[in-house]
């Protein structure tokens, strides 16, 4: 496990830092930005702290495409066709005797990168505590709130993969790692971390003295970033089945029932030299390497649903390993599209779910209808029993959040994985990934 925590964040180099930030900033040159010295920990300047903050945000993007392939393929949202790697259609889909491997890129890669970012947030927290730079206590707390929010989000992504296997949530000391926590304990630890961050973000100053990328436009001050924090906390709360608390977090987030569905912080991508392009983009009609929609996404859709624009008809069907699709995934139609972290449409659906589970039928249906009408559908006319509403909400989430990493997790939460389609005899729908071999003692 220790090797996961070697500080090798190549993305905090000066060129990437300048490219990520629209506002620009003065950045001190580091002797080796990939391996900061002890002197930086002990007495970081404001510019050096900015470098670390930039590196944390940039690192969140690394191996993110693999994470989305993991949850999207197992969740039968799309197929990941690769002429060079059969594991996307064998291991992830449980073909024949294939099983998920604990020493393969699809788990070791994203798992390690999330913990690398977590290590960098711990490094940032230590540097904040030891800096002698002239920074107000409120601004130091804002930096801590930033670090802890991102740390909690990264832990949540790894927990989504390992599920009941649990994760380590205390990794501050790489030489003395905390134990694996259960799924429930891990969620509690993540919520605690988010709440600590929320307290630190609720300070007396209106602006950050540090910069974030344009992906956080509108969420790049204490009030906005606190709303992002509360949005992630609402997602955690529904995983905990604490629906009253979820609604409380929703109230403090950027939730807006009638607002723009796409509002929310995003991972920044660009085609500028040295930066990362969107890893979920493949051109239409690609062969060899591509993502194609599971056929049921189209056949199960309701008439006039404009969310079908998230896929596009291919000129000829894509086929591999006895799997076929006539539709490309086009959630992100260009290399420079940002990837949403969480957005208002998900918050509306969390609001609907929490109210449905609490027996608040009226608010739940109102939120469902807001989603339906936003996408060209008539108002909901189905049953209003809790099970009916949850089925409708899961259906709407399937289309609203297609390709955004939710369907496998949502169907698992409601013990509905057996309802996901099996396209080849003998295929399996996995519940969780194994603990990576890198965790071996």
Please write down the long-range contacts of 203-206, taking CB distance under 8 Å and 24 or more positions apart: 203/138, 203/139, 203/141, 203/142, 204/138, 205/136, 205/138, 205/139, 205/142
Dihedral of the alpha carbons of 67, 73, 78, 79, in degrees to the nearest 10? 110
CA dist list (Å): 364 to 26, 343, 351, 367? 48, 18, 7, 5
The domains of the chain are located at 1-212, 222-271+337-418
Give me the percent of the chain exceeding a pLDDT of 90: 88
**Can you give the pLDDT at residue 37?**
45
CATH code given to domain 222-271+337-418: 1.25.40.390
Alpha helices in 271-336 (DSSP H): 295-299
- Read off the pTM: 0.93
Number of Cβ within 10 Å of residue 37's Cβ equals 10
Q: How confident is the model at residue 274 (pLDDT cuts 50, 70, 90)?
A: confident
Q: Is-same-fold flag (1-212; 222-271+337-418)?
A: yes
Q: Is the confidence at residue 27, as pLDDT, over 80?
A: no
The band of 41, judged by pLDDT with boundaries at 50, 70 and 90, is: confident
Question: Helix or strand or coil: residue 151?
Answer: helix
Q: Which residue has the tokens 């420079």?
A: 336
Question: CB-side exposure of 36: number of CA atoms within 13 Å?
Answer: 27
Contact 304, 377 (CB under 8 A): yes
Tell which CATH classification among 1.20.1280, 1.25.40, 3.40.50, 3.90.400 matches the domain 1-212: 1.25.40
Q: Is the pLDDT of residue 32 over 90?
A: no
- For the stretch 373-412, pLDDT in tens is 999 999 999 999 999 999 999 999 999 999 999 999 999 9
């Amino acid at each position: 496990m220790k090797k996961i925590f070697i500080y090798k964040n190549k993305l905090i180099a000066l060129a990437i830092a300048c490219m990520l930030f629209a506002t620009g900033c003065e950045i001190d040159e580091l002797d080796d930005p990939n391996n900061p010295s002890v002197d930086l920990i002990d007495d970081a300047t404001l510019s050096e702290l900015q470098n670390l903050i930039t590196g944390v945000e940039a690192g969140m993007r690394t191996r993110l495409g693999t994470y989305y392939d993991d949850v999207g393929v197992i969740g039968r949202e799309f197929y990941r066709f690769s002429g060079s790697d059969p594991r996307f259609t064998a291991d992830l889909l449980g073909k024949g005797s294939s099983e998920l491997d604990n020493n393969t890129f699809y788990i070791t890669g994203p798992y390690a990168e999330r913990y690398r970012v977590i290590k960098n947030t711990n490094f940032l927290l230590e540097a904040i505590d030891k800096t002698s730079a002239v920074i107000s206590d409120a601004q130091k707390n804002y930096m801590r709130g930033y670090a802890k929010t991102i740390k909690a989000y990264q832990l949540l992504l790894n927990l989504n993969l390992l599920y009941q296997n649990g994760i380590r949530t205390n990794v501050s000391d790489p030489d003395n790692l905390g134990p694996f926590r259960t799924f429930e304990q891990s969620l509690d630890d993540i919520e605690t971390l988010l709440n600590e961050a929320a307290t630190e973000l609720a300070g007396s100053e209106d602006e950050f003295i540090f910069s974030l990328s344009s992906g956080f436009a509108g969420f790049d001050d204490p009030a906005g970033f606190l709303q992002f924090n509360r949005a992630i906390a609402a997602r955690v709360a529904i995983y905990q089945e604490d629906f009253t608390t979820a609604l409380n977090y929703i109230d403090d987030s950027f939730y807006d029932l009638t607002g723009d569905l796409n509002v929310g912080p995003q991972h920044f991508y660009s085609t500028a030299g040295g930066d990362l392009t969107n890893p979920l983009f493949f051109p239409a009609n690609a062969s060899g390497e591509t993502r194609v929609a599971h056929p049921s996404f189209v056949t199960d859709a309701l008439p006039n649903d404009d969310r079908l624009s998230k896929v596009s008809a291919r000129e000829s069907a894509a086929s591999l390993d006895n799997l076929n699709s006539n539709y490309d995934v086009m959630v992100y139609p260009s290399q420079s599209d940002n990837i949403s972290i969480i957005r208002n449409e998900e918050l509306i659906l969390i609001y609907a779910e929490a109210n449905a589970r609490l027996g608040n039928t009226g608010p739940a249906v109102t939120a469902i209808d807001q989603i339906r009408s936003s996408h060209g559908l008539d108002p909901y006319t189905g049953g209003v029993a809790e099970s009916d509403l949850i089925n409708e909400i899961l259906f709407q989430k399937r289309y609203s959040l297609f390709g955004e990493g939710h369907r496998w997790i949502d169907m698992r939460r409601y013990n509905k994985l057996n309802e996901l389609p099996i396209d080849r005899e003998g295929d399996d729908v996995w519940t969780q990934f194994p603990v990576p071999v890198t965790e071996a003692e």
